[in-house]
Structure 1
Amino acid sequence: MKITLSTLNSRYTHSSIGLRYIYANLHELQNDTQILEFSINDAIQTVGEKLLADKPDVIGIGVYIWNVSEVVELIHILKKISPQLIIILGGPEVSYSPFRVDLDDADYIIQGEGEVSFYELCKQLKRKEKPQNKIISMSTPNLKELVLPYEFYTDDDIQNRYIYVEISRGCPFECEFCLSSMDEKVRAFKLDDVLEEFQKLWDRGARNYKFVDRTFNLNIKASNRILDFFLAKDEEYFAHFEVIPDHFPASLKEKIKQFPHGALQLEIGIQTLNLEVAINISRQLKLEKIRENVSFLENETHAHIHLDLIVGLPGESLESFGNNLDTLVQMSSCEIQIGILKKLSGTKIDRHDINYGMVYSDIPPYDILKNSTLSFNDIQIMKRFARFWDITYNSGNFKNSITLLWENQSVYENFYAFSLWIYTQTDSTWKISLQRLGELLFKYLHEEKDGNPQTIADIMLQDMMKLKGRAVPSYLKPYAQDFIQDAKKGTSGFNKRQN
């Protein structure tokens, strides 16, 4: 029986750790199994063609919120061309009911962690036995008994993609918007075995590691051993961890301080700073610890920090969200990712639907459309706000000049006004070139905010100095003669691009 494992990653640079876990634990079936990965940007019919090329008997597909629409189309094509093909689905998007897309054409759906269940199902199919149920219920394998997947990252993966790794599964917290809250027990792999595999990856040239643990700094002993693994390395590397903001004991802080610039990225889920809203969604919020630890990371380490906020939580007004954003910008100059609340099947956020008038789209990614506090128009405006924030503030292209929008006033109120204005100029949030974005920012600061054009230009030029190889754009040249002269002398970094 020939088996193909596949998924559609959100980007080419991503890789699927889930497929490799399934493959690693197929035992005697492994020799007749292959992994074929694609991205959601690939033509679906071409994906289908490649999947069918080797005439597999079974195709297992990983389904996620970002690819479920494309997977539905893919299943349709596969079944039209090869009706006898057995299609098995797994992954977060099919692990909880209700399913909000039509997956009826799939033969089997495995819910939960699939390493053992997929193997057992395939053994049944090979024996020509038909399982009783189409949906195979949740299973929780013993992590210490699983075969680790890391040797099945290819050399091409190591050279061109992020390598996803983990030391634990589960989350002890109960945040109602998050699927991780459904698995409250945290389980750990054998750390010695994991570290041995990490060393093998390193020896093969792996330098980009993204940990998928939901709370990396929960077990400090394990966290410190992982950090020691990287601190012992002399070559450049990148390690990404998702951490909780209120648990940074002294031993962890001392290690984080030792990481060089560019080596460590920490993603911190803040989501809201409104205590009433946080309690309402069962989220723990220790404000003083958050302030203390974000300040430490900002001022005493070289770590790149990524903070998360959510728009649309039940009971959270735009004013409350604005206060959250203002507070975070005061606390840190790091990246602040603004997301829109999603209603994921299986989460407990649905208990607020009636009391707060929560209305969501049933089309992936299941964004909120309105609630009793925010209108549909409010949500649409905030989606554009989040996009413009990402390409200006978070991008780093306008690190200093973007702050001219607010200058000791409310960040939220001033950026809100800017996002409204820029949308009137573009009628789009996508495919805005960096040149065009800079022109719009300059125009807004000069004409709408009555800023001094020379002052604005000087600050924008200073931002540009940090982006090597960029020429002075036309809209700044009238204010940049001294700067260009310095560039020609080789003192500003632009000497090769001005003539």
Structure 2
Amino acid sequence: MMKDILLVTLNSSYPHSSFGLRYLLANLGELQPRAEIMEFTIQRDPRDIAETLLKQKPKIIGLGVYIWNAQESLELVSLLKKISPETLVVLGGPEVSHEAEGNPICQIADFTIKGEADFLFYQFCKNYFENGVLPERKIIAGILPEIKEIKLPYDLYTDEDIQNRVIYVEVSRGCPYRCEYCLSSLDKSVRNFDVGQFLLEMEKLLNRGARQFKFIDRTFNLSPTTCTQILQFFLDRIHLGLFLHFEMVPDRLPVELRDLIKKFPDGALQFEIGIQTWNPVVARNVSRRNDYEKVRENFRFLASETGVHTHADLIVGLPGEDLQSFGKGFDTLAELRPNEIQVGILKRLKGAPIARHDKEFEMVYASNPPFQILRNKDVDFATLQVMNRFAKFWDLYANSGSFKHFVATLRDRATRREDQSFFWEFFEFNDFLSARYAQSYGISQLSLFESAYVYLQEKMGWPKEEAKALILQDYTLTGKIDLPKFLKDYVAKPKAPVAAEDAMKSAIPKRQQRHLAGKAETTSS
């Protein structure tokens, strides 16, 4: 059945679902039967997407634009307006909510709604269909919606979504902090949904089979009362085999929260913890507040007393931080043993206050998405290119959980360096990989194993059989049975990985399961 309103976005990949579109549909009121969500991925040809959309003969296309789909969305909107100029194209999303007037996609589209559009999009459609009235200006802005009046969208997750895609949820919007690289720094306050109603919706999702929940709240643990209430809700149902992802403030883990976290089974919780920099001067430059001593204490607690999977973030290219400073911060964080360290390259998000540093720190960014830093006063272009590769290879080797013994070997070797730096130890491995591969993308896992094997021999001086034995330990953890050619003449029988209890890890993603398997193997040996 053809629909008058199509709610559209291009996701980065199929497993991701658009939370924002579901909010728009949930709040369309009486117009909801006339609307439909249509999600695509950025890999799809924009011409094919345009064909699919225009077959529906929609009167309005609402398009969600984000940093990861900005270029593809521009191509799509250009096609739509050339092929079907009578179809109204209305944009929304973070990428068009700031500096919209000079944004090419906003100039091509008919209208752009800035900020939270839960009610604004409904009002736009209502005015058009009932009265034939369109806004006088292309850029539409309004006050923030009263959060407790927003209709929750969780019923709009389909059975297919629940089985195959990430289920995003939120109990609050906004952030009290003013970190200048983040758009949340523009928020005036934190606004909370009704917790009781939210938990009723979570119960319905659980009853429908949802087992993984990704909270997008910027500061989930800001309110210990709300945080513990939600965690207790899921803990009471943990026997279902759940996986919960939260973004946490790094220096806020009060006793009541600690006591609750300790009760969750290994791997059921994942905390994304934004550190960004360990340099206090750089932190002040970007208005980042961290009590570093509390951060250290909290990481030690999480590593030693809980089964929480920790994912910590650092950013390369912040104003005032050179490579030496970043490396020192990386080492400090690595000593605290998070399960993953996400090395990110600074992006200049539209509207983010970090733009105020452009002149003083000579910040130069790419003109196209994702608008990464190209150079600044403290880090030149060549170094940032190296760190782009470092970030990718670190993710492939350390964060993936597939090379635990090899990465542990690098960590151990770092203790014998004069500087005792794990960062600079991996930096040397990164140089080796950069010479071996023309690019850091599209490399097979088998090739990565072989590169680690070669590095052990050629750069670290390991005997051939010892290098094979170590790589075989990691290779076995992947669950693969057939040995690659370079390991086939190794006759020792592989040791089977120790599995965590199946009932408790059923909803845990494979990447986190590999970390758990390595942890179990280490404990049992």
Q: What letter is aligned with 1:4? A: L
Contact 2:452 2:471 in 1 (8 A): no
Contact 2:93 2:115 in 1 (8 A): yes
Contact 1:91 1:111 in 2 (8 A): yes
**1:132, distance to aligned residue in structure 2 (A):** 1.3
- For 2:316 and 2:142, the matched residues in 1 are separated by 31
* Aligned counterpart for 2:193 among listed residues 179, 189, 192: 189
Q: Could you report, residue by residue, the CA deviation over 1:361-380 in whole angstroms, capped at 9, with x for unpaired residues?
A: 11000000000011111111
- For 2:328 and 2:69, the matched residues in 1 are separated by 34
1:448 aligns with 2:459: yes
Q: Which residue of 2 aligns with 1:356?
A: 361
Q: Which residue of 2 aligns with 1:295?
A: 300
Give secondary structure in 1 for the equivalent of 2:439.
coil
- For 1:115 and 1:196, the matched residues in 2 are separated by 21
Give secondary structure in 2 for the equivalent of 1:481.
coil
- For 2:481 and 2:383, the matched residues in 1 are separated by 37
- For 2:291 and 2:315, the matched residues in 1 are separated by 17
Contact 1:63 1:91 in 2 (8 A): yes
Q: Which residue of 1 aligns with 2:439?
A: 428
- For 2:444 and 2:9, the matched residues in 1 are separated by 31
Q: Where do residues 42-191 of structure 1 align in structure 2 (5 Å cutoff)?
A: 42-97=44-99, 99-126=102-129, 127-191=131-195
- For 2:59 and 2:382, the matched residues in 1 are separated by 49
- For 1:333 and 1:130, the matched residues in 2 are separated by 52
Sort the Cα spacing of 1:475 and 1:112 in 2 relative to 1 into closer, same or farther, 3 A. Answer: same
- For 1:331 and 1:76, the matched residues in 2 are separated by 49
Sort the Cα spacing of 1:470 and 1:318 in 2 relative to 1 into closer, same or farther, 3 A. Answer: farther
Q: Which residue of 2 aligns with 1:24?
A: 26
Q: What letter is aligned with 2:305? A: E
Give secondary structure in 2 for the equivalent of 1:148.
coil
Contact 2:449 2:475 in 1 (8 A): no
Q: Which residue of 2 aligns with 1:222?
A: 226
Contact 2:345 2:373 in 1 (8 A): yes
Q: Which residue of 2 aligns with 1:312?
A: 317
Q: Which residue of 1 aligns with 2:482?
A: 471
Q: Could you report, residue by residue, the CA deviation over 1:452-484 in whole angstroms, capped at 9, with x for unpaired residues?
A: 333333222222332223333322334x31235
- For 2:362 and 2:22, the matched residues in 1 are separated by 41
**1:275, distance to aligned residue in structure 2 (A):** 0.7
**1:310, distance to aligned residue in structure 2 (A):** 0.4
Give secondary structure in 1 for the equivalent of 2:6.
strand
Q: What letter is aligned with 1:156? A: E
Contact 1:19 1:35 in 2 (8 A): yes
* Aligned counterpart for 2:427 among listed residues 392, 411, 416: 416
Give secondary structure in 1 for the equivalent of 2:492.
helix
- For 1:38 and 1:81, the matched residues in 2 are separated by 19
Contact 2:96 2:106 in 1 (8 A): no
1:332 aligns with 2:334: no
- For 1:350 and 1:189, the matched residues in 2 are separated by 32
Contact 1:174 1:282 in 2 (8 A): yes
- For 2:303 and 2:78, the matched residues in 1 are separated by 49
Give secondary structure in 1 for the equivalent of 2:385.
helix
- For 1:333 and 1:243, the matched residues in 2 are separated by 14
**1:405, distance to aligned residue in structure 2 (A):** 2.7
Q: Which residue of 1 aligns with 2:471?
A: 460
Q: Could you report, residue by residue, the CA deviation over 1:407-440 in whole angstroms, capped at 9, with x for unpaired residues?
A: 2131111211111121111111111111111111
Give secondary structure in 1 for the equivalent of 2:275.
strand
Q: Which residue of 1 aligns with 2:254?
A: 249
- For 2:473 and 2:133, the matched residues in 1 are separated by 69
Q: Which residue of 1 aligns with 2:213?
A: 209
Give secondary structure in 1 for the equivalent of 2:119.
helix
**1:398, distance to aligned residue in structure 2 (A):** 0.7
* Aligned counterpart for 1:483 among listed residues 486, 489, 493: 493
Residue identity (%): 47
Q: What letter is aligned with 2:250? A: P
Between 1:138-147 and 1:113-122, the stretch displaced more is 138-147
Give secondary structure in 2 for the equivalent of 1:483.
coil
Contact 2:312 2:338 in 1 (8 A): no
Q: Could you report, residue by residue, the CA deviation over 1:351-407 in whole angstroms, capped at 9, with x for unpaired residues?
A: 111111100011000000000011111111110111111111111111121232342
Give secondary structure in 2 for the equivalent of 1:458.
helix
What stretches of structure 1 move > 6 A for 4+ residues in a row?
none
**What TM-score, normalized by structure 1, do the two folds share?**
0.95
- For 1:446 and 1:466, the matched residues in 2 are separated by 21
Between 1:414-423 and 1:173-182, the stretch displaced more is 414-423
- For 1:289 and 1:333, the matched residues in 2 are separated by 15
Provide the alpha-carbon RMSD of the alignment. Answer: 1.5
Q: Which residue of 2 aligns with 1:276?
A: 281
Contact 1:11 1:39 in 2 (8 A): yes
* Aligned counterpart for 1:199 among listed residues 182, 203, 227: 203
Q: What letter is aligned with 1:15? A: S
Give secondary structure in 2 for the equivalent of 1:83.
coil
Q: What letter is aligned with 2:288? A: R
Greater RCO, 1 or 2 (C-alpha within 8 Å, sep 6+): 2
Contact 1:114 1:139 in 2 (8 A): no
Q: What letter is aligned with 1:187? A: R
**1:101, distance to aligned residue in structure 2 (A):** 4.2
Q: What letter is aligned with 2:214? A: K
Q: What letter is aligned with 2:124? A: L
1:397 aligns with 2:402: yes
Sort the Cα spacing of 1:53 and 1:451 in 2 relative to 1 into closer, same or farther, 3 A. Answer: same
Give secondary structure in 1 for the equivalent of 2:112.
strand
Q: What letter is aligned with 1:285? A: N
**1:138, distance to aligned residue in structure 2 (A):** 4.2
Pairs aligned (count) = 486
Q: Could you report, residue by residue, the CA deviation over 1:162-185 in whole angstroms, capped at 9, with x for unpaired residues?
A: 111000000000000000111030
- For 1:196 and 1:71, the matched residues in 2 are separated by 36
Give secondary structure in 2 for the equivalent of 1:205.
coil
* Aligned counterpart for 1:260 among listed residues 256, 265, 277: 265
**1:333, distance to aligned residue in structure 2 (A):** 4.5
